[in-house]
Each structure stands twice: as structure tokens, then as C-alpha cells.
Structure 1
Amino acid sequence: MKPILQNLVEMTGHRDHLRLEVSVLSTLLKLTGVIEVRALELFTDGGTPHVRPRTWVENGQLVSTDSEAATDPRREKLEHYPALRECITHQSDSALASPRKGRHVLWLPVWMHDKVHTCLEITQSRTFSAHKLEVLKGVFQVYQNYQSLLDYSERDALTGLFNRKTFDEQFSRYAMNGLAGGHPGAVTESLASEDGPPSGEPVQQWLAVVDIDHFKQVNDRFGHLYGDEVLILIANILRSSFRSHDRIFRFGGEEFVVLLRSTTLSTAHKVFNRFRLAVQEYAFPQVGQVTVSLGFVSTTRGSPVEILGQADQALYYAKEHGRNQVCFYDDLVASGQLASKMVANDDVELF
């Protein structure tokens, strides 16, 4: 019991979802009789549910990937895991199966916001005793509760999107690694997925700053209750307009940020404009029509504060020149409508 408690103390000391995942698998792997552990990511691709290993044991060590799930060659259809599929369909807390002699598998799905984002898979050579199941589920419950606390601290209370604190903590790492990190979650069909990259056009990462046009007038005319409803509905349109491995943040007020992963400039233009049109064409209760302005930039050049500052410049150019439009920073600089300038970390405060 003492080693388990020590591992639980270590596990709850992490402030990162992936490190917490590695820690709980390490704890489970040390239990007597456990021969293999994995964390499976569940996602939908082309309308079909899939799973792929996100953390697993390799050469005696736990390794993880945060690459895009939909392009992972190790992905499998969920139908290949019938016991797990039934467990999720019936919203059960666990599933057991013996796929072959000497292999007994326990799946523990992580339920958050009434969806399964990940699932822990534990394999033994012998059947699971009632006592062993009780211990495993106890460790798992601590893990799931702590995952929920981390998730709550990362999100905006009104919209459920990631908050500014989460952006500040993660964007430096994403900018340095080309947005290699992904967010585990159930994939919604993406507007971007309809467009294959044009031949020869490089795939990049993009940061967009979004602002609701004339939002102060909405609050002044209809009240903050309807203003909050507009924010919630805009957040819903954002979710449906981008992929699960893209990242969406609410910065506070009427400002949002989108990190768009692994696509071309022409596709980025299409996706951002589709989102803008989706907002324009949405009938907001009581308020009627609402529009947004958006500025975006590639994340491949400059420090995080420079990248964010350039997207902000493009946004405010859009707002000062008619609103309800998408502006790309490099196009504005190339046409002479914006002057490219260096931004120092200690002499600018964004937003």
C-alpha cells in the first residue's frame, strides 16, 4: 500500500495532462501481475470512431506522442475493441475482455463533459480478482478526479474554451515546436478536412485573433445576459469550425484566439472565412446578426509575443477598415498597408 500512496502523491504533483497520464500508468505498471499498460486516445475520423495509443511501454520505458491522432498509422477502428465500444455506448465505468489465452484486459474510460476523451488499458496474464479491480479503480478514480480539476483550471467558466492562463502557459512550447502538441478529445468533423493541401504549398501553423464586432453595443442595447449568450454561441461556432487538435482560447471580453495546426495558407484563409461566414449567417436570439473580425499570422517566425502582436495588428486593421473580414498579416505588410516592426517582450502589452 505504501508504494501506491507514494505514487499517488507524485501523480497529483503534476500540472500537465500528459505528464499526469504517464504518472498514473507508471503507478499501475508497478502493481503485481500487470504486464502492460497503455493510454488510448479516442477520436472520430470521417464519421468513424477510432482509437490510437497515446502513451505506452516501449523498451521498458513509458513513451508518449502528442501528434495528430487522425494521421497516426497505429490508429485502429473502435469496432476492433467490442468490449470497449459497448462500455462507451452504455456509459459504463469499465470493461473487461480476454482477447486470447493468457491476456486479460481492463479498460477504464475517462469521462469528461459526458464524453470519453481517453481510456486507460491494463493487461494481466491472469484474470482480475475482485480485490485487484477495487485497487485499480481506486487509483483510476484519483487520476480521473485530478484530470477534472486540471481541466477546470484551464477553462473559461462561461464558454468552456481554454482560458488566457492556459494560452500563456502553452503557447511558447507550441511556437517552439511548430504546434506539435495536440489536445486529446473527440474530433468534430472539420471544415479544414474538406480541402487537401494544394501541390507544393507548404503546411504551416497559424495563430488567429478573433474579435466580435460592436460587442459593446450588444451589451448596451440588450444587456449582459444576451451578451453572454452571444459569447457562448460564438464559442460553439468556433468548436464546430475547427478540429479537435486545433486549439481555441477565450482571452476575456469578446476576444478569442485560435491555433490552427498543420495546414496551408490557402486552406487557412478558407477555414477562417468559413468561420466568419458561419457567424454572419447565424441568427442570434434577440440580437439578430453578429459579425466578427479576424487577423492571423504564421507561427514560424518570431517570438510568441511577436507572433501574437502581429496577429493583433492584422485584427485591428480589419476592424478599422470595415470589420467582418479576415486579414493575413504578411499580405498587409507586403501591400504596404502595415509596417513590419519588431516587438520586444518588455515594451508592449497586448490587448
Structure 2
Amino acid sequence: MKPAKPLMMESMLKHMVELTGHRDHNLLDVSVITALHELVGASQARVLEMFKVRGEDMVRPRVWIKGGKVMSLDEGLAPDQGGEAMALYPALVDCIARQLRSAEEIDVNGSHVLWVPLWQNDTATAAMQICSDTPFASNTLDVMEGILSVYRNYQNLLDYSERDSLTGLLNRKTFDEKFSKMVSYNAQPETQLPDTDAEGRRQVAEIRSQWLAVVDIDHFKRVNDQFGHLYGDEVLILVANVLRSSFRAQDRVFRFGGEEFVVLLRSSSLDDARKAFERFRSNIEAHNFPQVGTVTVSVGFVNINGETPVVILGHADQALYYGKTHGRNQVCYYDELVSNGLLHSEVANDSVEFFFDDLAES
């Protein structure tokens, strides 16, 4: 690597300190984009997240530079159907298919573009797009690779701290942080939200069509008592795998603890939300669990409205409790139960009580 000028070295060290001080994926994205824009003179830099819509690979920016300012799309506001087909970026598609660390191209506008996939194990979950009006010099690429190496390492460390060690799903601590942030944003009056144009109002409408479901494995205590905890752990792992395959990449699935899971379903109508949770319940019932055989789950879900996180989670728990005590292996919607007189609307003040924990066996 060619010697860096003292000013560049000082700036690089400043950015390295900032990168290593973050404990949040979004802030880490902002820091790396800022560093690359400043240090290598990028004309454009974006972090693109990847997801699927009806089986098609899509990308959309989650952090980008606009008019010299770093912009960030809050997770709660990201529209499910937004973005572009990844096929529009063949160099990125080829880079991922060949599992390369990076790829360079010259786009139709004559800009020099560097693609850097962000790998999680063997899967690319996001990519960086860095554009320059001039070719990337070798020393510039060296500087970029140094910054990106630190960025990748800290992304992996953050991801490790956010996940449950047994199932690999997001953990309870991560749920508390993300859910509180989502509810706080959702509770703001529309006049206080950014982007009050038509697109902004559409995004606000989408965040206010979010759903939370609490999932519990039926008769899980019997599994542990009859087959032992090793098979119990295998059931948890397999249920987690079915959860992953049953929901979209932009939805969030958490292991809440024990045999309990939570799903945050984003930007869906009530009908679509019910269908998604029913599909998951059916997938579990149809799945063959080695040695154990058939396993079922109960699901209670609720709309994420203007209530506090404790109340929203408590309502989902009440719907789940109703399903657990009325036959199990079913999906129950809190508002529907209340409107039909099957549940009374009760608000907890300080904490959420998971009523099914008091059952003799779940």
C-alpha cells in the first residue's frame, strides 16, 4: 500500500475509531459510507439490502449519499415492495454468483462502479455500490479494502451479539431494541414524520400496517420429557428453520426464549397477515420431526398500533393464550377475539405476563 498523506491518515484513523465505536448496524452503515465518500472521493456510495418478492431477487438502498449528505432509510419505514430487480445490475449478480469479494465495471454513464457484496456465512445479504468519475487507483482500492475489512468484522460481531446461539434467529435483546424503536416511530403524529409528500404518506401508511405474532410450540414439555432435551433442541432448531422459510426476508423472526418465538410482519393487510401466519402453522404441522413425529404450534397476533410495546405484546400473548386453551394448533387474532366477545381488552401497566407459562404443560 502506498504511503498515505498525513491528512488522509489522520482522517482514516478518525473514521476507524468511529466505525469501531458503533453497536448498531444502521450507524455502522452510515459511518462506512461517510468514510468512503470522504477518503476516496466517491461520487456516489450506497448500501443496498437484498430481499425477495415473489421469488425475484430485489435490492433497495438502506443508506446512501444524496447531495453530499448521508441519508438512511429507517428499518420501520422500508416499504416491502420497493426497490429494483437485482437483474438490473448484472455485474453484482455475477459477483455474487462467483462469490467474489468485489467486482468493478464501467456503467452506461461512464462511471466507474465497485460492487462489494456483504456476506453472512455463504449468503450475500447486502452489497455496497461505490461510484467514481475516475478509475479507482490501486492505493485507493487498498484504503477502501482496509476500511471494508473493519466494517465486515464489526458487522459480523454485531450480528453474533444479536442472535440466539441455538437457532440462529434474532434474540430477545434485539427484539426489545427493534420493537421499541418501531413502536416509538409508529406513535408519532404524521405531521412530525419526515417526507410528507405522497411517497412519504405511503410509507407512513405501510409502517402502520405492521403485525406482531407470538408463537409457542404445543406440548413442548412432553417432547423434552419423552424424548430428552437433545431432541427438544432439535425441534427448536427445525421450527426456527420453518420460520425462516415461511416468512419474507424483510420480516423479522426472533427466539423469545424457551419454546416461544416472535414474528414482526411488515406492511401487510390483515388478510395477508392472517394467511402468512396460517401458512407457517400449516408448514409446521406438515413437517416431519425425526423421532418426535408431528409437532404443532399456536399463534396469537395483533396489529402494531399506537399502544406501548408492553400493551401490544400483551395483547398478542392474550390471543395466544386463548388459542392454547381452546384446542391449540391455531392462529388467533386479538381484535377479532375481542370483537366477538371471546376476550376482554385488558391493559397491563408495567410488564407483560405470558399467561401460558402458568399452564401445567404448554
1:168 to 1:203, Cα distance in 2 relative to 1, 3 A: closer
Q: Distance in 2 between matches of 1:32 and 1:213?
A: 55
Q: 1:85-100 counterparts in 2 under 5 A?
A: 85-99=93-107
SS at match of 2:106: strand
Matched, 1:333 2:338: yes
User: Is residue 53 of structure 1 aligned with residue 61 of structure 2?
Assistant: yes
1:51 offset after TM fit, Å? 2.5
How far does residue 294 in structure 1 lie from its aligned partner after superposition?
1.0
Aligned counterparts of 1:229 and 1:123: Cα–Cα separation in 2: 46
Output one character per residue of 1:268-289: Cα deviation in whole Å (capped at 9) or x when no partner.
2222112111111111110000
1:102 and 1:126 in contact (8 A); partners too: no
Instruction: Say which of 147, 163, 167 aligns to 2:175.
Output: 167
Q: Which one-letter code corresponds to 1:305 in the other structure? A: V
Distance 1:287 1:213 in 2: 13
**Equivalent residue number for residue 145 of structure 1:** 153
Q: SS state of the match for residue 116, structure 1?
A: strand
Deviates more, 1:233-242 or 1:260-269: 260-269
Given the two structures, how large is their TM-score scaled by the length of structure 1? 0.88
Identify the match of residue 284 of structure 2 among 274, 279, 286: 279
Q: Which has the higher helix share?
A: 2
CA separation of 1:211/1:68 partners in 2, compared to 1, >3 Å: closer, same or farther? same
Query: Structure 2 CA distance, aligned partners of 1:251 and 1:235?
Result: 11
For the pair 1:109 / 2:117, whether they are aligned, the reply is: yes
User: What is the CA distance between 1:100 and its match in structure 2?
Assistant: 5.1
Contact kept in structure 2, 1:178 and 1:205, CA below 8 Å: no
1:14 aligned to 2:19? no
Distance 1:141 1:131 in 2: 15
% identity of equivalent residues: 54
CA distance in 2 between partners of 1:32 and 1:329 (Å): 53
Q: Is the 8 A contact 1:205 1:261 kept in 2?
A: yes
Gaps of 5+ in 1: 181-201
C-alpha deviation, 1:18, in angstroms = 1.2
Q: Output the TM-score relative to the length of structure 2.
A: 0.85
Q: Kindly tell me: are residues 271 and 179 of structure 1, through their superposed partners in 2, closer, same or farther at Cα, counting changes over 3 Å?
A: farther
Q: 2:317 aligns with which of 303, 307, 312?
A: 312
Query: After the TM superposition, which residues 249-260 of structure 1 pair with which residues of structure 2 at under 5 Å, given as runs?
Result: 249-260=254-265
Return the letter of the residue paired with 1:92: L
Q: Which shows bigger deviation, 146-155 or 271-280?
A: 271-280
Task: Judge conservation of contact 2:63–2:70 (CA < 8 Å) in 1.
Answer: yes
Aligned to 2:249: 244
Q: 2:128 aligns with which of 101, 120, 123?
A: 120
Could you tell me which runs of 5 or more consecutive residues in structure 2 were left unpaired when the two chains were aligned. 1-8, 189-206, 358-362
Contact 2:52 2:249 in 1 (8 A): no
Give the aligned residue type for 2:268.
T
Task: Count residues with an aligned counterpart.
Answer: 327
TM-aligned CA deviation for residue 120 of structure 1: 1.3
TM-superposed deviation, 1:266: 2.2
Over 3 Å counting, the alpha-carbon distance change for 1:281 and 1:101 in structure 2 is closer
Partner of 1:206: 211
Equivalent pair of 2:53/2:81 in contact (CA under 8 Å): no
Letter in 1 for 2:67: N
Q: Secondary structure at the match of 1:118?
A: strand
- The 3-state SS of whatever aligns with 1:341 is coil
CA–CA distance in structure 2, aligned partners of residues 253 and 179 of structure 1: 30
Q: Separation in 2 of the partners of 1:252 and 1:240?
A: 20
Question: How far apart are 1:77 and its partner, in Å?
Answer: 2.8
Offset of residue 179 of structure 1: 10
Paired with 2:318 and 2:40, the residues of 1 have a C-alpha distance of 58
Structure 1 Cα separation of the partners of residues 172 and 139 of structure 2: 43
CA-CA distance at 1:101 after TM superposition:
7.1
SS at match of 1:31: helix
Q: Is the Cα–Cα contact under 8 Å of residues 105 and 121 in structure 1 kept in the other structure?
A: yes
> Separation in 1 of the partners of 2:232 and 2:112?
53
Distance of aligned partners of 1:52 and 1:266 in 2 relative to their CA distance in 1, 3 Å threshold: closer
Question: 1:309 is matched by which residue type in structure 2?
Answer: G
- Give the 3 Å change call, closer, same or farther, for CA 168–34 of structure 1 in structure 2: same
- Is the CA contact 2:218–2:297 (under 8 Å) kept in the aligned structure 1? yes
Counterpart for residue 4 of structure 2? none
The amino acid that maps onto 1:7 is H
2:326 match: 321
**In 2 relative to 1, CA 179–281 (structure 1 residues): closer, same or farther, beyond 3 Å?**
farther
Q: What is the aligned partner in structure 2 of residue 191 from structure 1? A: none
* CA distance in 2: counterparts of 1:252 and 1:55, whole angstroms: 32
CA drift at 1:203: 7.3
Q: Do structure 1's residue 266 and structure 2's residue 276 form an aligned pair? A: no
Counterpart of 2:198 in structure 1 is none
Residues 1:134 and 2:142 aligned together: yes
Residue identity opposite 1:17 in structure 2: H
Match of 2:48? 40
Deviation at 1:32, TM superposition (A): 4.2
CA distance in 1: counterparts of 2:209 and 2:92, whole angstroms: 36
**Matched-pair contact (CA < 8 Å) for 1:237–1:279:** yes
Runs of 4+ off more than 6 Å = none
Bigger mean CA offset, 8-17 vs 135-144: 8-17
Contact 1:33 1:126 survives alignment (8 Å): no
Q: CA RMSD in A?
A: 2.1
